[in-house]
Amino acid sequence: RKEVEQDPGPFNVPEGATVAFNCTYSNSASQSFFWYRQDCRKEPKLLMSVYSSGNEDGRFTAQLNRASQYISLLIRDSKLSDSATYLCVKNTGTASKLTFGTGTRLQVTL
């Protein structure tokens, strides 16, 4: 089993829709989690960290479920500019152990 697994998509949604992605992980020692966004042919950029209590940043909400070993990203009121690949990342706290998922592609259409 991969350490971090994501549905590759693509998720095709109309503008204004709500969309959610899940990411499952193995290794319960994983300490912290992140969502990175990667636009086509660009570098990844941090979207948000994921906290156990859940956290929200504008239209974006991230949740962590340690019991079931998954994290989620909810995007409300999708914009065309949200079209990108969303990478799930986990960090076990040591220098080398930042593990990236393969990404979920989102395409928002008119």
Partner 1 sequence: NAGVTQTPKFQVLKTGQSMTLQCAQDMNHEYMSWYRQDPGMGLRLIHYSVGAGITDQGEVPNGYNVSRSTTEDFPLRLLSAAPSQTSVYFCASSYDISVNEKLFFGSGTQLSVL
Residues that bind partner 1 (CB under 8 A): 4, 8, 31-32, 34, 36, 41-46, 49, 87, 91, 93-96, 98, 100-103
Closer Cβ to partner 1, 67 or 95, answer by number: 95
Least spacing, CB of residue 101 vs partner 1, in Å: 6
Closer Cβ to partner 1, 30 or 78, answer by number: 30
Least spacing, CB of residue 6 vs partner 1, in Å: 9
Closer Cβ to partner 1, 78 or 103, answer by number: 103
For the stretch 29-57, what's the b/e string if a residue is b when 16 or more beta carbons lie within 10 angstroms of its beta carbon?
Answer: ebeebbbbbbeeeeebeebbebeeeeeee
49 neighbors 94 (Cβ within 8 angstroms): no
